[in-house]
Homo-oligomer: A and B are copies of this chain.
Amino acid sequence: MSVSADDLQELQAQLAERSITRRPTVPALEEQLFQPIPCLDHGFVRVVDYMGDDAAVVQAARVSYGKGTRSANDDRGLIRYLLRHRHTTPLEMCELKLHVKLPIFVARQWIRHRTANVNEHSARYSIMDREFYLPRPEDLARQSANNKQGRGETLDAETAEHVLRLLRRDHEQSYDTYEKLIDDAGLARELARMNLSVGFYTQWYWKVDLHNLLHFLALRIDPHAQYEIRVYGEAIANVVKAWVPHCWEAFQDYRLDAFTLSGPMLAVVRRLLAGEDVGAANSGLSKREWTEMMGVLRPGDTR
């Protein structure tokens, strides 16, 4: 992560400021405010503002005049109830604002989450920096053999080195050209940027409510998500843990660690619990679904 001297000074100014407020305040998150959390080689996530806390979820669920909170235990129980039964509107009463620096191809996955507010750095208006993503050698992987949109084993060291050399060469060249187009040819920025790859970094402010943020995280910290966006997802997950610990705990139990049994799967589990000998063949499930389910229900069992 590279932060310019100017940015560092801005950051110091933000960190130095203190105000008195009547608003719900979360000390554990205040400590993290404004500080960039490094992601990938040049990116970061930093919390710029937040609204609400665990108690704000409870308050909205109860539509109460005051805080609406009772004992800490009651509040935790209510939040668990809300998450278990997917009563998600009270979670929308909390809001998080992030400043993110990320490769364009990550931004393109991210922006698919439509229920959020975003202001992105404009390459029509400003000149892009010479900053692009180069994976670490250990993150360079072969196309997966059995998953059309995933990675398989890591490349051997020699191939990895070769790949990185090619990536670096093309990125440096395309940025050299970009500079020439702007400086020498005087080409409009909105046209010159065409020559830059989706590996270059962009920046945006992104603001989202807690319900939609948790949905984003459920998809983006999933092992099937592309590694490069997962890195951001995990950085944000740690922020959420500090911000709304009760919501996070419930989210973990009822969503991240959960497994949904389809109707036909449920029938199989009932037969298994009744002591019946059920295998892939007489389960009524497709081979794929059988493997998926048994991988979760009997993780060690490789029959």
Contacts and interface: CB of A to CB of B under 8 A. Distances in A.
Interface string A87-104: 001101101010100011
B25 A19 contact: yes
A296 B60 CA distance: 31
A205 B51 contact: no
Given A97-B93, A114-B114, A195 B182 contact: no
Contacts of A207: 92-93, 95, 209
Given A51-B51, A65-B7, A188-B142, A258 B261 contact: yes
A34 B50 contact: no
A87 to B, nearest CB: 10
Interface string A15-26: 101111111110
Interface residues of A, number: 130
Interface of A: 3-4, 6-7, 9-11, 13-15, 17-25, 30, 33-34, 48-52, 56, 59-61, 63-67, 84, 89-90, 92-93, 95, 97, 99, 103-105, 108, 111-112, 114-115, 117-122, 124-125, 133, 135, 140-144, 148-152, 155, 159, 162-163, 166-167, 170-171, 173-174, 177, 180-182, 185-191, 193-199, 203-205, 207, 209, 226, 252-254, 256-266, 269-270, 272-274, 289, 296-299
7 contacts: A20-B21, A22-B34, A140-B187, A155-B186, A254-B263, A259-B260, A270-B299
